Structure 1
């Protein structure tokens, strides 16, 4: 058995031309290229897929080999899976050739064998370089070809860095050099998973709301921190893949991607005292940078809503058509799909994702901690949760949201602060009784939605001076009514929310 430790990247086509030059400064033990044809097998009810296993037959230079990869682990784009390989003489899988001990308890390989059938295939040219770096051997494999399921096809442009032997840190150091050149994006989806999706046997990514992490009071601070970071990174990458896969490129995918980024950012801030210098301060800067790169999403969602169904939201305005045309023109100025793809394949984005993956893989926060920090990380998270929730609540109460009365502009200015406060609550929410937690959070969620509705009017305010006098007067009156209604509802919700007793005390 071999346990694969590899980093998977999806790459832009131009990387194939740049890679040989980039590798010239390394010691290359071996270099070759080969054509690989792979057929993947499973049962009609996907018995292997359900146990997170993959079975393939690879044909190469007239020789065949069957491989089974069993359930492993994944952090970011780092994949670790047990792998078993057996030579074959015929193009038919034979599970009896694998050791019986490899199968999970309760699995009957002989029964699975009877129902195996080919499902999809991959066909690609693999260019390989075997490098040695300070005694560590790393194989780079650049794959270009396609996944095929029936008459459906998808291109393959992937780069895999696999640790052959030695120190896994060298894997990441080499990856960082490559990522700096741009055009690489850490890949969370394997060729097999893409094949299952293409064959219609596995669902494509679905949009998901960020749900609370299930916690127990006895969970340690370290366990909670790691689980929150994994959850945030997984949510982030899931919606990155989903946005890239969606033909309509819905903004909702990017909004949820941003939620995952926000959870990672908030988690590093919440546990910063326990980690001290072990958190790379550059990540905080990069996470802030990435959220800034996505800050236009709020405006984009507003414009999408205002222009939906030919401006249905503006249906009571005689100048609806004029406004809708102007709003649609503003939409054209927002980042387009090509610009967003460039962001996801950019060097800074890739370096951030790679750094977080490496940090989680090595559990780097443990090195160099003081005895006090070690004790803090090992302590139950319940005490820290109360402290952080108190801190967040104090900030909120002493912000403008705690003042006697707010106007519309002041409410809108508090949107980011309220989002951060609600994210802190989400991080620790399942430590507390659900009914009390929901009763406390709901008014604040209503306030956030009300602020977002109020902010929805901002693009219209921006257009006011471009209208003729009559249309401007009509818009002013309509906006004033909307604002009065929303402010009245916000004030009522805020008055109720400020009277509630915190559920964590």
Structure 2
């Protein structure tokens, strides 16, 4: 058995022409080019897929080999999976050739063998370099070809960095050098998963809301922190893949939720972890949040222009407003700019830095004994402290004042979002009924603030209308704002009377 440790990148087509020049500064032990044809097998019921295993036969230079990859771990673009390889003489998989102990007790490989069938294939050229960097051997492989399932095809442009032997940190350092050249994006989806999706045997990415993490009060602080970071990163990458396939705004909004969870988790546990390591990627995390700050505006404009401006239907100047709002939409980042962001060196450095930090568990570096003890302590007490701190900040913000105007409510939107994210991080530690009773009014307030802010793009447009239309818009806006403010004030008065569920 071998355990792969590799970084996977999806790359732009021009990367292949740039790689040879870039690699001239490295010691190359071996360089070759291969044509690899792979057929993937499973049962009609996807018995192997259900145990997170992948079975393929690879044909290369007239020789065949069957490989099974078992369930492993994946963080960012780092993949670690145990695999078993066995030579074959015929193009038919034989599960009996694999060690018997690899199969779970509930799995009968003989039964699976009887109903195996080919599902999809990959066919690509692999250009391969075996590098030596300070005694560490790394195989760099550039794959270019296609995934095929029946008549359906998808291109393959991937770069894999696999640790052959030595220090895994060299894998990340090489990856960072490559990322500086641009055109690379850490990939969370394997060729096999793409093949299952292309064959219609695995669902394409679906939009999903950020849900609470299952927790227990006795979970250690470190265990909780790591689980929250993995959840945030997984949510982020899932919706990155979804946007690249669909490019609708909702994917980006959920991607931002994943980024926010990662950031909030670092803030919640930051006092317990080491800061001696290089954490430049944290600056990149703040940069990314700034790069996505236009999403609120995009959501407002999308709502106002939906269904040909249906929201504005009672206004005589609807068509004029719709035209102006659509002109504002045209100024927002477009699909090409966003794709460039996801393939940019700084975005890649952020993903790689976070992945490396999680892989090496760098938060432990040089910890004092007191910090180590805090990390090992049950998370319940820390959760109570953080929820109290967040609640104190909220109560002493403008949201705790006797009365607010519209502008003041909108200014508190970010603070309320952060407060609710803290609650989401620890919510499963507390009884559901009490938790929901406390959170729902504040979620309603956040939705009310967002509805109020939805009117912001219209506030300056009355100056561009004639006197009659401008007066009509101003009156309409004032009526909408008055209604929303009354509802917000009532909800806030009730929410401030609630007793915190964590006390």
- The corresponding residue for 2:373 is 375
Which of residues 304, 317, 326 is equivalent to 1:328?
326
- The corresponding residue for 1:42 is 42
**Residue pairs, 1:23-172, within 5 angstroms:** 23-172=23-172
- The corresponding residue for 2:16 is 16
Q: How large is the Cα RMSD of the aligned pairs?
A: 0.9
- The corresponding residue for 2:444 is 446
Distance in 1, matches of 2:332 and 2:342, equals 16
What residue ranges of structure 1 are gaps of 5+ in the alignment?
A: none
- The corresponding residue for 2:192 is 192
- The corresponding residue for 1:347 is 345
- How far is 1:462 from its partner? 2.6
Q: Summarize deviations over 1:435-488 as a string: whole Å, max 9, x none.
A: 111111111101100000000001111312111111101100100100000000
Q: Summarize deviations over 1:261-296 as a string: whole Å, max 9, x none.
A: 000000001111101414654333211111110111
Distance in 2, matches of 1:272 and 1:283, equals 15
1:489 pairs with 2:490: no
* SS of the residue 1:499 aligns to: coil
Distance in 1, matches of 2:449 and 2:277, equals 34
- The corresponding residue for 2:236 is 236
1:223 pairs with 2:223: yes
- How far is 1:102 from its partner? 1.3
Distance in 2, matches of 1:230 and 1:102, equals 27
Distance in 2, matches of 1:327 and 1:280, equals 44
**Residue pairs, 1:254-273, within 5 angstroms:** 254-273=252-271
Which of residues 290, 293, 297 is equivalent to 1:292?
290
* SS of the residue 1:13 aligns to: coil
* SS of the residue 2:93 aligns to: coil
- How far is 1:181 from its partner? 1.5
Q: 2:282·2:350 contact (CA, 8 Å) conserved in 1?
A: no
- How far is 1:199 from its partner? 0.4
Distance in 2, matches of 1:475 and 1:280, equals 53
* SS of the residue 1:21 aligns to: helix
Q: 1:268·1:279 contact (CA, 8 Å) conserved in 2?
A: no
Distance in 2, matches of 1:4 and 1:135, equals 19
Q: 1:236·1:260 contact (CA, 8 Å) conserved in 2?
A: yes
Distance in 2, matches of 1:234 and 1:380, equals 24
Distance in 2, matches of 1:347 and 1:457, equals 36
Distance in 1, matches of 2:435 and 2:212, equals 12
* SS of the residue 1:230 aligns to: helix
Q: 2:274·2:364 contact (CA, 8 Å) conserved in 1?
A: no
Distance in 2, matches of 1:444 and 1:275, equals 31
The TM-score normalised by the length of structure 2 is: 0.99
* SS of the residue 2:217 aligns to: coil
Q: 1:272·1:279 contact (CA, 8 Å) conserved in 2?
A: no
- The corresponding residue for 1:176 is 176
Distance in 1, matches of 2:445 and 2:253, equals 19
Distance in 2, matches of 1:93 and 1:217, equals 47
Q: 2:42·2:117 contact (CA, 8 Å) conserved in 1?
A: yes
Q: Summarize deviations over 1:214-258 as a string: whole Å, max 9, x none.
A: 111101110000000000000000000111112xx1111000000
Distance in 2, matches of 1:407 and 1:297, equals 24
Q: 2:121·2:149 contact (CA, 8 Å) conserved in 1?
A: yes
Distance in 1, matches of 2:289 and 2:257, equals 9
Distance in 2, matches of 1:113 and 1:216, equals 41
1:457 pairs with 2:455: yes
Which of residues 434, 437, 447 is equivalent to 2:435?
437
Distance in 1, matches of 2:328 and 2:72, equals 47
- The corresponding residue for 2:391 is 393
Q: Summarize deviations over 1:169-223 as a string: whole Å, max 9, x none.
A: 1111111111122111110000000000000000001101000111111011100
* SS of the residue 1:160 aligns to: strand
Distance in 2, matches of 1:469 and 1:12, equals 53
Q: 1:447·1:494 contact (CA, 8 Å) conserved in 2?
A: yes
Distance in 2, matches of 1:278 and 1:304, equals 44
Q: 1:5·1:162 contact (CA, 8 Å) conserved in 2?
A: yes
Distance in 2, matches of 1:163 and 1:407, equals 59
Q: 2:281·2:349 contact (CA, 8 Å) conserved in 1?
A: no
Distance in 2, matches of 1:30 and 1:104, equals 38
Q: 1:8·1:79 contact (CA, 8 Å) conserved in 2?
A: yes
Q: 2:274·2:362 contact (CA, 8 Å) conserved in 1?
A: no
- How far is 1:44 from its partner? 0.5
